[in-house]
Copies of this chain bind each other. A is one copy, B any other.
């Protein structure tokens, strides 16, 4: 029986690997170990252990690694601390595989620890193109990992260019699409009743937009200005809005502070603020929304399958492969405003299978089950 260890570091991480974890738990050749770390453990960023528990997924190890503060050195320190803790866990459980998800900065800690310990590393969502430190982290992870599960064919080609053995690359689609496919229809008002939001009281009959905009670490000192442009556009729109708190990257404190100040001083706005949703509930809120605005990758990924119009702001997703439902704009309130108006008038787009067909988690586990990876990596010239 092979031991497979999943390391989940955030709410976004979880949605992108959940169906693979469930498939692993159903596979009798695999013993599944789940490590929850980083912002995934923190109330302020949406502790997800209770959501996982409802999904039937127990957490075996917890890695508290987030060092408080809002300077980029803490992204480094947090990752360093995670390496120290994870290496002890890996030494204890001796996994046959470690699965690491996507491209958040803590991810590199997981991949570094496992690869240094000669444990085969499976990396999902490699080969994508974006901005922020994520762009560097993602490709560095690819160069340390042994098996690659890119979401798209185009990403697979990038991984090949990076010198990886084509035999180690499997286009599986993204497990987040599995959840999009499986999530039943539930009205947004009913979804919201299970969460504690603050601000505007959501009105079920009215349409709404969804905003999710994170800090861009490589220009984190501008986080405040960047978010100000979005806020202005949304205020001008005067439409009911659900706004998600940012994740834990450097600059997020500045964003949170600004949103809080806005909330205290603009009592007449129509914005409801929420910390977090379960992956399924997030899909529901996104599906029922008229448009998603910001720079969350769900504005690229899940929204492609759902056909939800999307306005992507700034350079966090710059260069990212995407469907027809996306308009890219600069940090400019009038540009943002115009793009939202255009998307609202366009309405829903046709569903795209660019990021998967809803069977990715199962596919991943079937591949893992049959793998005998080689530890020593060899560069493939193309």
Contacts and interface: CB of A to CB of B under 8 A. Distances in A.
Contacts of A43: 70, 253, 257
Interface stretch (A14-22, A72-80, A179-187, A238-246): A72-80
A118 B64 contact: no
A162 B65 CA distance: 31
A66 B64 contact: no
Interface string A340-382: 0000000000000000000000000000000000011111011
A69 interface: yes
Contacts of A315: 376
Contact of A158 (B218, B318, B379): B379
A61 B132 CA distance: 28
A117 B80 CA distance: 13
A106 to B, nearest CB: 11
A83 interface: yes
Contact of A67 (B67, B70, B80, B92): B67
Interface residues of A, number: 78
A63 B90 CA distance: 13
Contact of A88 (B88, B113, B217, B376): B88
Given A42-B69, A378-B319, A133 B115 contact: yes
A258 interface: no
B116 A133 contact: yes
Nearest to A114: B76
Interface stretch (A134-142, A287-295, A327-335): A134-142
Contacts of A69: 41-42, 64, 66
